[in-house]
Amino acid sequence: QVQLVESGGGLVQAGGSLRLSCAASRRTFTTYVMGWFRQAPGKEREFVASRRHNGGRALYADSVKNRFTISTPIADANDTVYLQMNSLEPDDTAVYYCAAREGIVLKNAPSEYPYWGQGTQVTVSS
């Protein structure tokens, strides 16, 4: 059973930046995809970004393209994935979750990811 723990959320002004981290442990599979999702109050959980654990092409939601970057370590003893968020906007306010799925195919549906972290709050003030 993979365990995922997010950190790095907080309060930031519009136009600012934050970097979220997601540390994975107890991973038993060797090829996997990491994803970031978010959920605002009263809204469904939505896709933000995904990438294979060893790098390569990344997939982004249109709303975060050119502002957010997902990075996955090619060789990281801590097995950590990051989400660098720049030019933050109030509409980015949400609880952010990292997720993992075995394999190499990038997916943007929450139902495709069986492993989830507990979430970290990101609040962007105007």
pLDDT of residue 113: 96
**40: burial class by Cβ within 10 Å (0-12, 13-18, 19+)?**
middle
Render each residue's pLDDT in the chain as its tens digit; 126 residues.
789 999 999 999 999 999 999 988 877 777 889 999 999 999 999 999 999 888 888 999 999 999 999 998 665 556 789 999 999 999 999 999 999 999 999 999 999 999 999 999 999 999
pLDDT of residue 67: 98
Buried b (16+ CB within 10 A) or exposed e, 68-82: bbbbbeeeeeebbbb
Written as one letter, the residue type at 105 is V
Alpha carbon separation from 44 to 16, 39, 40, 56, 68 (Å, rounded): 25, 6, 7, 28, 20
pLDDT of residue 61: 98
Q: In sequence order, what DSSP letters do the residues of 24-50 get, joined into one string?
A: EES---SSEEEEEEEE-TTS--EEEEE
Tell me the three state secondary structure of residue 112: helix
CA-nearest of 47, 41, 2 to 22 is 2
DSSP secondary structure letter of residue 78: T
